[in-house]
Amino acid sequence: MKIASFNINGVRARTHALDAWLEDAQPDVAVLQEIKTQDEGFPTAFYEDKGWHVAVHGQKGFNGVAMLSRLPIEDLSLGLPGDDTDEQARLIEATVVGKTAVHVCGIYLPNGNPAPGPKYDYKLAWMERLRLHAAAMLAYEVPTVLLGDFNVIPEPRDAAKPENWVDDALFLPQTRAAFRRIVNQGWTDAIRIRDPHATRGPFTFWDYQRLSWERDNGIRIDHLLLSAHAADLMVDAGIDRAVRGGEKPSDHVPVWVELDA
């Protein structure tokens, strides 16, 4: 079972890019972030006609997440628990069943800039709610994949120029500490485990400005976290870097993990 995450940065602007990647990469499950549309604006019928099961948690103009699956989507849940006043569409989760059942939770974690400020306070509060929810998912004792755009640069090697990010909400010490509190519950970073001794990158995001892509001035903020049961099933993981060089690309590229499931 190949499970992928892709911050598409506006699905209506990049349906062609998304469709081309799906055709080339052939994931079984794809979670999307920043679809930037309400549910009715998502091209659900288009993908259902191509054989996908589709679930959408949209929001007008901002945020929004979705899940496309070749396998039936079961036990769908939308939104991060812990704050009934939070109306931002940032989490979608469900169970899919291949050879075994796998719980998939896709997230779009708040950016948090400018920091300090209310947006950063929201980011840290959201991360604490995610920590509690992640602990609850681990208690399921089924293979679980927590993936998406975390808007967190975990370590200096996850940025081409870490010195440029020291005052940014993605790299502040409080942000990285909050991320570690989640990972240290017992999650495995699928991309990092493939090459734990890498000293630079790999990256998943390149800004549209300042020739960031051409200069490989990137950061790694899209992550795949595996529960112990999922890590035991891991066959491979990767980053589809070449997608960033395509026509009208997102500023993110897909990340994926393959499980023997």
Q: Hey, which residues are catalytic here?
A: 108, 149, 252
- 93: nearest Cα among 47, 46, 136, 124: 136
Binding site: what residues are annotated? 7, 34, 149, 151, 251-252
Compute CA distances 118 → 83, 89, 173, 245, 258, whole Å. 16, 18, 17, 35, 38
Residue identified by tokens 């400005």 is 209
Burial class (CB within 10 angstroms; exposed 0-12, middle 13-18, buried 19+) of 136: exposed
Binding site for Mg(2+): what residues are annotated? 7, 34, 149, 151, 251-252
Edge-first strand order for the sheet with 144-149 is 74-78, 91-97, 101-108, 144-149, 222-226, 188-189
Q: Give the whole-angstrom CA distance, residue 80 versus residue 156.
A: 29
8 Å CB contact between 84 and 129: no
